[in-house]
Amino acid sequence: MTSDKQKEAVIEKDKGNAFYKKKEFEKALEHYEAALKLDPTNISIMTNRAAVYFEQNKLDDCIKECEKAIEVGREKHSPFNVIAKAFCRIGNAYLKKDNLEKALTYYNKSLSEHRVPEVVKKAQNVESMIKERERLAYINPEISLEEKSKGNKMYQDGNFPDAIKHYNEAILRNPDDAKIYSNRSACYMKLMEYSLALKDADECIKRDPTFVKGYLRKGATFLAQKESTKAADAYSKALELDPQCQEAKEGYQKSVMSQGNDIDSVKKRVMNNPEVQNILCDPAMRAILQQMQENPKAISEHLSNPEIRDKIDKLMECGIIDIR
């Protein structure tokens, strides 16, 4: 093959590329065909023709053309990046065919020849798609309910580690069931794994913001960690959903009673917070605080009033309430 033919082949390829950009694919194929007759070992022309087949949705032709390009490229010791492009095109075709596993295989083959950020990202995306597809295929609410029931039995028997195993499987089978996270949170509480208990309480609330137990689990976890203000806030939200919830009332009361702060720092926060000063100057609030000091159970009578509860929360945040 003469050098002149190679030059003519490049000219024909460039003409094909021009038509490809204009989406005139049949004309592009004519020039690529002419280019390959002049230079049958130029695999770039083959991969360009494969790109046309891809756009025409002739995916099997695209794959065959790229496989031929790779075969010729190996024989002629073509640059790794050129062979990598052919592997990537095959990956693109399999992705369009919705064959994720093969798409990932060929993207990885492309990366083994020449590592390109764009192809790395494609491989990562396909991996994520495969995992998500497997996750969705695994979902089965009926099996989830069976596993949750087994977990509940283990919990009642005091076998918390095995209960968690069943709850883990129940969540995999139905990840949107808020109640399972609540149950697993209770298990972690029993094992004093407070960070995990809190995480599950948050997951429970995320999936169902109206589920009272999520806030009860959160409040109990904060209370166990001696974070009384945060506990009171969680119990307060539970009471907003169910003002008659006894567990929320008792938890809120315990949170208030466990408050304690350095006197100087408390005074400083009061001086810097006009809202707190107004609350303390309110005769009605002073009467309520007096009742709380004399009879801690009296606070339950005021929790049904959101306005009073908000004021108590504010005083707790500043560390003013300190009932022992």
Q: Is 209 helix (H, G, I), strand (E, B) or coil?
A: coil
pLDDT over 90, % of the chain: 68
Q: Is 40 helix (H, G, I), strand (E, B) or coil?
A: coil
Q: In whole angstroms, what is the distance from residue 216 CA to residue 236 CA?
A: 9
CATH code 1.10.260.100 region(s) in the chain? 273-323
pLDDT value, residue 257: 72
Taking residues 115-133, report their average pLDDT: 96
- Alpha-helix runs per DSSP H in the chain: 3-21, 25-38, 43-55, 59-75, 80-96, 100-113, 117-138, 141-156, 160-173, 178-190, 194-207, 212-224, 228-241, 246-257, 263-271, 274-281, 283-294, 306-317
Q: Worst-scoring range by mean pLDDT, 148-157, 214-223, 281-290?
A: 281-290
Tell me yes or no: is domain 41-137 CATH 1.25.40.10: yes
Residue 320 has pLDDT above 70, yes or no: no
**pLDDT tens, residue by residue, 90-105:** 999 999 999 999 999 9
Residues 61/39, Cβ–Cβ less than 8 Å: no
Q: In whole angstroms, what is the distance from residue 49 CA to residue 16 CA?
A: 9
Q: In whole angstroms, what is the distance from residue 270 CA to residue 266 CA?
A: 6
pLDDT value, residue 55: 96
- Alpha-helix runs per DSSP H in 242-297: 246-257, 263-271, 274-281, 283-294
For 273-323, CATH gives 1.10.260.100
Q: In whole angstroms, what is the distance from residue 245 CA to residue 223 CA?
A: 17
Taking residues 247-265, report their average pLDDT: 71
Residue 272 has pLDDT above 90, yes or no: no
Work out the mean pLDDT of the chain and round it to a whole number. 89
| Cβ neighbours of residue 146 closer than 8 Å, sequence gap 6 or more | none
Q: Worst-scoring range by mean pLDDT, 98-102, 170-174, 201-205, 313-317?
A: 313-317
Q: In whole angstroms, what is the distance from residue 194 CA to residue 175 CA?
A: 21
CATH code 1.25.40.10 region(s) in the chain? 41-137
More confident residue, 133 or 318: 133
Residue 194 has pLDDT above 50, yes or no: yes
Residue 89 has pLDDT above 60, yes or no: yes
**pLDDT tens, residue by residue, 45-82:** 999 999 999 999 999 999 999 999 999 999 989 999 99
Taking residues 126-138, report their average pLDDT: 94
pLDDT over 70, % of the chain: 89
